[in-house]
Amino acid sequence: MPLMGKQTWHFPSAPVLLATAAVVGPKEGAGPLGEDFDTVHPDNYIGQDSWEKAERRLIEEACQTALQKADISGDKVDVLYAGDLLNQIISANFAARTLGVPFLGLFGACSTSMESLALAAMTVDAGYADTALAATCSHNSTAERQFRYPTEYGGQKPPTAQSTVTGSGAAVVGKGGVGPRVTHATIGKVVDLGITSPFEMGAAMAPAAADTISRHFRDTGRTPEDYDLIVTGDLARVGHKICNELLEQEGFYLGDRFKDCGILIYDPDQEEVFSGGSGCGCCAVVTYGHLLKRMEKGELERILVIATGALLSPVSTQQGESIPCVAHAVCIERGSGSGD
Amino acid sequence: MKQGPKDKVAYKKMAQRHTPKKPVMANCIKAFLVGGMICLLGQFLQGFYIAYFGFNERSASNPTVATLVFIAVLLTGLGVYDRIGQWAGAGSAVPVTGFANAMSSAALEHRSEGYVLGVGGQMFKVAGPVIVFGTVAAFFVALIKQILTMLS
């Protein structure tokens, strides 16, 4: 049965990640994972005249690079799932216009990377598509404008703040072929434990991540030991510790295999990193760039990636609402031989 | 996961344990140093305008403020002021340079939406409340002063 337990989807055909791509800005390129990304742009404007156009260019490039690597032309893509952080998800919409493929836009804040991958895998597994594309992006300066202050505004941020990643990740999911396989996805519930400060996203999202992770173990009957790596999207230094404690309260001890993309992407000594990275692009570029490269090298056999999203808007924050959060988990396994 | 009022209170406590404290003392010292340096620069400029341009102490404040605003706007445009602001906090936000930064950063940010709706419409987005509440406060201070003068 494709539905396991309450919230976990099992994909019997195990759709294949034919290729993935990660395109980033200069700060991400200068970080410890810089060499794992397909393209590192030296300039945050990516040769465009506005931040929004730069973000759009990032996601277009990620999609095109992934398709090139998979040796698939754009007209072979049966469906594109994409989303970003901007109002009306304009980056994804405009990228879909450029690509000219059937498109479903998503908004799951920073959980969009795994939300889109889970949906792409489900669509391929169910036979509604032979090839599906999942993509997401974020840009530090567009996010600053959308959620905080003008980029050049000299306000002081607290140490709990996070730095939105400038980058985009895309994955081509296909029926057969060689590559890592998507075997399970656990769709999260919206969890809100009353955190109201938009500078404490890690603390806001940690309960949603813990809820989805423990649900995944209960639904599949697996234990943390079944995974080489369990990676959250962008909880960063504060939220990751909280999530670990919440999981221990539930009886799951993850230990050293528990990591976070927001912590991995930057060196803590880099300028204005605060507690770590965030944004749709964070989980996407670390997973599609770094983690899958490690899997390709044989260092990892099976990983669980949990993308975490804070579903707030500037209006809801100003009206004093707390931050509803969601987390979606996707299990990726190292592929062996050609698919059948 | 339970999300009742009790769970929220317990969770806030737990989250607080893992949350790094704001370095209030260090921030105060940094703000004092940078804010003081900006004021010192202002004092120097005022002396300069009095000594070389024939202003008196009162009228010299106009070119002094204009010079400080000019420097702040230039540093904002060069992408330096926000870096200073992250280090200095209130030290660079409270003086007139902070106001200049709030205006010019918003103007720069919204340049892409055109001069009228972008620059013109959004320029006061961050600095607007300062003007609104500054005017409101001035009104009440003047009102109290007037009443006190009439009573005495």
In this predicted structure, the answer to whether residue B110 has a pLDDT above a threshold of 60 is yes
Residue range A290-312: mean pLDDT, rounded: 96
Closest Cβ–Cβ partner in A51, A149, A275 for B126: A149
Dump pLDDT digits (tens) for A61-102: 999 999 999 999 999 999 999 999 999 999 999 999 999 999
pLDDT at B1: 83
- Find out whether A306 and A275 touch, Cβ atoms under 8 Å: no
Dump pLDDT digits (tens) for B25-78: 999 999 999 999 999 999 999 999 999 999 999 999 999 999 999 999 999 999
> Given an 8 Å threshold on Cβ–Cβ distance, is A242 in contact with B14?
yes
Residue % of chain A over a pLDDT of 90:
95
Closest Cβ–Cβ partner in A52, A159, A211 for B1: A211
**DSSP secondary structure letters along A224-242:** GGG-SEEEESS-HHHHHHH
Residue range B109-119: mean pLDDT, rounded: 94
The identity of residue B92, as a single letter, is S
Write the burial class of residue A139 (CB in 10 Å: 0-12 exposed, 13-18 middle, 19+ buried). buried
Residue range A316-323: mean pLDDT, rounded: 94
Length of chain B: 152
Dump pLDDT digits (tens) for A227-246: 999 999 999 999 999 999 99
Q: Looking at CA atoms only, how far is residue B148 from chain A in angstroms? A: 38
Q: Cα separation of A303 and A261, whole Å?
A: 13
CATH architecture of A181-333: 3-Layer(aba) Sandwich (3.40)
In this predicted structure, the answer to whether residue A7 has a pLDDT above a threshold of 50 is yes
In this predicted structure, the answer to whether residue A308 has a pLDDT above a threshold of 50 is yes
pLDDT at A165: 97
pLDDT at A1: 73
B67 vs A151 pLDDT, higher one: B67
pLDDT at A340: 38
What pTM was estimated for this model as a whole? 0.94
- Find out whether A308 and A112 touch, Cβ atoms under 8 Å: no
Give domain limits for chain A.
3-174, 181-333
Residues of A in contact with B93 (CB under 8 A): 154-156
Spatial neighbors of A182 by CB under 8 A, at least 6 apart, are A11, A14, A15, A16, A17, A117, A118, A121, A173, A330, A331, A332
For B6, name the nearest residue in chain A, comparing CA atoms only: A193
> Given an 8 Å threshold on Cβ–Cβ distance, is A242 in contact with B15?
yes
**A328 token code pair:** 């979606």
pLDDT at A339: 40
Spatial neighbors of A67 by CB under 8 A, at least 6 apart, are A19, A73, A74, A77, A133, A172
DSSP H/E element including A303: strand A302-310
pLDDT at B152: 85
pLDDT at A337: 45
Check if A3-174 and A181-333 are the same fold: yes
CATH architecture of A3-174: 3-Layer(aba) Sandwich (3.40)
Helix axes B5-18, A236-249, angle to 10 degrees: 130
In this predicted structure, the answer to whether residue A210 has a pLDDT above a threshold of 80 is yes
Residues of A in contact with B106 (CB under 8 A): 150, 153
**A2 token code pair:** 């494709």
Chain B residues bordering chain A (beta-carbon distance below 8 Å): 1, 3, 7-8, 11-12, 14-15, 18-20, 22-23, 27, 76-77, 79, 81-86, 88-90, 92-93, 98, 101-102, 104-106, 108-110, 112, 125-126
For B89, name the nearest residue in chain A, comparing CA atoms only: A156
Q: Cα separation of A293 and A167, whole Å?
A: 17
> Given an 8 Å threshold on Cβ–Cβ distance, is B109 in contact with A272?
no
For B77, name the nearest residue in chain A, comparing CA atoms only: A152
Q: Looking at CA atoms only, how far is residue B100 from chain A in angstroms? A: 10
**DSSP secondary structure letters along A96-165:** HHHHTS-EEE---GGGHHHHHHHHHHHHHHHTS-SEEEEEEEE-HHHHHHHHS--TT--PPPPTT-BEE-
In this predicted structure, the answer to whether residue A181 has a pLDDT above a threshold of 60 is yes
A74-83 as b/e: b if 16+ CB within 10 A: eeebbbbbbb
